[in-house]
Amino acid sequence: MVVSTLYPTDFQMHLFHEGTFYHSYQLFGAHVFSENGRGVTRFCVWAPSARIVRLVGDFNNWNGTDYTFHRVNKEGIWMLILPENLEGSLYKYEIVTNDGMSLLKSDPYAFYSELRPNTASRVYRLDSYQWSDFKWQVKKEKKLSFSEPVIIYELHFGSWKKHANGEFLTYLEMADELIPYILDHGFTHVELLPLVEHPLDDSWGYQGTGYFSPTSRYGAPHELKYFIDQCHQNGIGVILDWVPGHFCKDAHGLYQFDGSHLYSYEHPNDRENDIWGTANFDLGKPEVQSFLISNALYWMENFHIDGFRLDAVANIIFWPNSNEEKPNLFGLDFLKKLNKVLIDNDPTVIIIAEDSTDWPQVTTPVDYDGLGFQYKWNMGWMNDILEYMETPSQNRNEVHQKITFSLLYAFSENFVLPFSHDEVVHGKKSLLNKMPGDYWQKFAQLRLLLGFMMAHPGKKLLFMGFEFGQFVEWKDKEQLDWPLFDFEMHEKVNVYVKELIKVYKRSKPLYELDHLQTGFEWIDVNNSDQSIFSFLRIGCDADDFLLIVCNFTEKKYSNYKVGVPNECKYREVFNSDQEQFGGSGHTNKKILKVEKRVFHGKPYTIEINIPPFGISILRPVKSRKERKGSGKEKVRSHASSRGER
């Protein structure tokens, strides 16, 4: 049966083979239509090296004899239209190669897949969900992330929490369980490890087979939409880990799809990714570009994803198996093309590069010769601060530069500061257990580390479990150690994290100018003997700033002198050593007065208590009475003039 209106147009095929068919998923894959009141199901696949393509499924007893595709063009687009509604049916493509081999392949554009270990695709309609996140979409357009607080909770869907019998929570159950938890802690976004269909649980989704297919481990696609919809209705952004560099080599997937290396590079040295046992996408092939860019838009348009964290960008920027760092021009051009298309489609989209290289202008717009990402993971900061924290406190004076070095390049890109899953797995220990010292010191240093992270320029990302001091590293086959909430210090560090996030979100100097040098100023950067650092974080209004003092040793100080830029009083608005957080209580409870004495190159000096392994955040304040329309008087604290500095 031929229904001409359902066949691809010459223009669509031209765009696909040109690498600019950015909605190719609307043509390829399985689609259900209504023609003259009857159900029709269309299948379309790209397989230029195939001699024959047949459709097999549960509707024909997996026998494709009478279900042979028609080749639409010489470039290898095949199509089959059946006069029946096959919604919900399982299917695969039987591809007979030029050398006579018969391959059974899942649909690269399938919208739903069979539950692993089975590997068939499932016919699924995309229009089965009604969204209710209009207010979120409007809010996003008004507030771009650069000048807003961003603190991301990175999450592995399958091990955050499980049922007593070890089974996964579903998308629907996670909406009920996770969203209140995120709201209670104050995270602005949740970042999900890849949810594309993948055969092996141990890959955490980073080795996918079904790029258009949300994994069926946790439910159906419309149930994932419900989860995202509920996140949006509660003011939570959703970022998806996405892997456009390499793919899984399982027999039913993209690898040698039609007998040729269709989706991957032809040359083995370019194709084979020995680190992960995967195959690298041929990012110079136009049809692969159409596939991948279309996939990103698919997640944005059909699942309302707010952004992507691109995995292993170094594997795209450079040829992976080169003995020297040889730029991959195909990969670089692809990244520019991808990012420009996504941002042109939705200027609010957040695109983050997990990039371990020193490639320049990663977060510079494409029109200004950059790669076009909004953010880049600051891997250098992460490695330096963890090395510093893992150094015994008495030796930290020897690695003083591990704290200071990041500020030499902190404004060269728009950075996200990451403590991700990669840092708490494979023997690396949890954040808490990385800290040296005794039990109390470990918790004190974790609080200090998190406080310093919030005060350092850059948006924030932390992997699940940090918020209550998970003691063992992440175990992807088990849920988080929720019973730790029964222990006092773990409960107190959770209280600390909640309060710290509140302080971060309500303090504009901590996020407004993350990307500009004017948002940061050292007060004392040279005190390596005591391992004490002091600096200012400054908001868009230059009169709005915070003074931060960090002590990276177990010694405490009273009447410690710090230079300040102006003549006013100071109030401590946060101290990690408060007793409610598990600290010793060495805080600054009273308003602090300044003395007109030059110190640290500043015209004024204050004396403060410095807590052991602690961070203090102070704000210059001045009280004034302000009459409101109601006639009631209200005392308000506000930043005073910073004066000459």
Per-residue pLDDT reduced to its tens digit, 416-457: 999 999 999 999 999 999 999 999 999 999 999 999 999 999
Once rounded to an integer, what is the mean pLDDT over residues 472-493? 96
Mean pLDDT of 99-110: 96
Residue 532 tokens read as: 């004490």
Q: Please report how many Cα atoms fall inside a 13 Å half-sphere around the Cα of residue 123, on the Cβ side.
A: 24
Given a cut of 50, whether residue 633 has pLDDT beyond it is no
- Is the pLDDT confidence value at 362 over 70? yes
Evaluate if residue 625 carries a pLDDT over 50.
Answer: no
Helix (H) or strand (E) holding 608: strand 604-610
- Residue 260 CA to residue 264 CA, distance in Å, equals 9
Q: Could you confirm whether 197 is annotated as catalytic?
A: no
- Mean pLDDT for all residues in the chain: 93
Beta strands 246-247 and 278-280: pairing type?
A: antiparallel
Predicted confidence band of residue 45 (pLDDT cuts 50, 70, 90): very high
Share of the chain above pLDDT 90, in %: 90
Q: Is 430 in contact with 590 (CB distance < 8 Å)?
A: no
List Cβ neighbours of 395 (8 Å cut-off, separation of 6 or more). none
Whether the per-residue pLDDT at 640 is higher than 80: the answer is no
CA 251/CA 122 separation, integer angstroms: 18
Going by the DSSP 8-state scheme, the letter that residue 219 receives in this structure is -
SS3 175: helix
pLDDT at 639: 35
Omega into 268 within 30° of 0, i.e. cis? no
User: Residue 521's beta-bridge partner residues?
Assistant: 536
C-alpha 281, offset from chain centre? 21
What's the confidence (pLDDT) of residue 144?
A: 80
| pLDDT at 623 (0 to 100) | 60
Cα torsion 12, 18, 21, 25: sign: positive
* Whole-number CA gyration radius for the chain: 28
Are 638 and 621 a contacting pair, CB within 8 Å?
Answer: yes
Tokens in use for 623?
């009280």
What is the arithmetic mean of pLDDT over 143-150?
90
Report the pLDDT value the prediction gives residue 275, as an integer from 0 to 100.
Answer: 86
| Cα-based angle 95, 98, 99 (whole degrees, multiple of 5) | 105
- In this structure, the strands spanning 102-105 and 90-97 are antiparallel
Q: Per this entry, what is the length of the chain?
A: 645
CA 218 to chain centre: 20
Query: 213 phi and psi, to 5 degrees?
Result: -115, 105
Strands 38-46 vs 102-105: parallel, antiparallel or unpaired? unpaired
User: What pLDDT is attached to residue 6?
Assistant: 86
Task: Annotate 468-536 with three-state secondary structure.
Answer: HCCCCCCCCCCCCCHHHHHCHHHHHHHHHHHHHHHHHHHCHHHCCCCCCHHHEEEEECCCCCCCEEEEE
Phi, psi of 208 (to 5 degrees): -95, 160
Distance CA 443, CA 427 (A): 20
User: What 3-state class would DSSP assign to 568?
Assistant: coil
Q: Is 66 a catalytic residue?
A: no
| pLDDT band per the 50, 70, 90 thresholds, residue 1 | very low
Report d(CA 583, CA 611) in Å as an integer: 9
- pLDDT recorded at residue 629: 41
For residues 340 and 160, give the distance between their C-alpha atoms in angstroms, rounded to a whole number: 34
Question: 245-281: per-residue pLDDT in tens?
Answer: 999 999 999 999 999 999 999 999 999 988 899 999 9
Q: Nearest Cα to 380, choosing from 428, 411, 418, 350?
A: 418
pLDDT, tens only, 366-417: 999 999 999 999 999 999 999 999 999 999 999 999 999 999 999 999 999 9
Element (H, E) at 337: helix 329-345
Q: Burial, 624: exposed, middle or buried (Cβ in 10 Å; 0-12, 13-18, 19+)? A: exposed
Look at the alpha carbons of 442, 448, 453, 456 in this order and tell me if their dihedral is positive or negative: negative
| Model confidence band, residue 495 (pLDDT cutoffs 50, 70, 90) | very high
CB atoms within 10 A of CB 477: 10
Decide: 382 and 340 in contact? Cβ < 8 Å.
Answer: no
Residue 612: CB atoms within 10 Å = 22
Section 269-298 average pLDDT: 95
Residues 6 or more apart whose Cβ sits within 8 Å of residue 123? 30, 32, 41, 86, 87, 88, 89, 91, 112
Q: Which element (helix H / strand E) includes 272?
A: strand 272-273
The answer to whether residue 624 scores a pLDDT higher than 70 is no
- 26-30, 95-99, 250-254, 641-645: the lowest-pLDDT one: 641-645
Identify the pLDDT of residue 628: 40
Nearest to 607 by CA among 26, 188, 597: 597
The Cα–Cα gap between 633 and 62 comes to 79
Q: What is the identity of the amino acid at 328?
A: N
- List, in order of start, the domains of the chain with CATH numbers: 4-122 (2.60.40.10), 150-510 (3.20.20.80), 517-638 (2.60.40.1180)
94, 154, 272, 311: the catalytic one is 311
pLDDT digits (tens, 9 = 90+) for 538-586: 999 988 999 999 999 999 999 999 999 998 999 999 999 999 999 999 9
- % pLDDT > 70, the chain: 96
| Residue in 270, 354, 413, 423 annotated catalytic | 354
| Contact in structure between 550 and 533 (CB atoms under 8 Å) | yes
pLDDT at 143 over 90: no
Look at residue 179 and tell me whether its pLDDT is greater than 60: yes
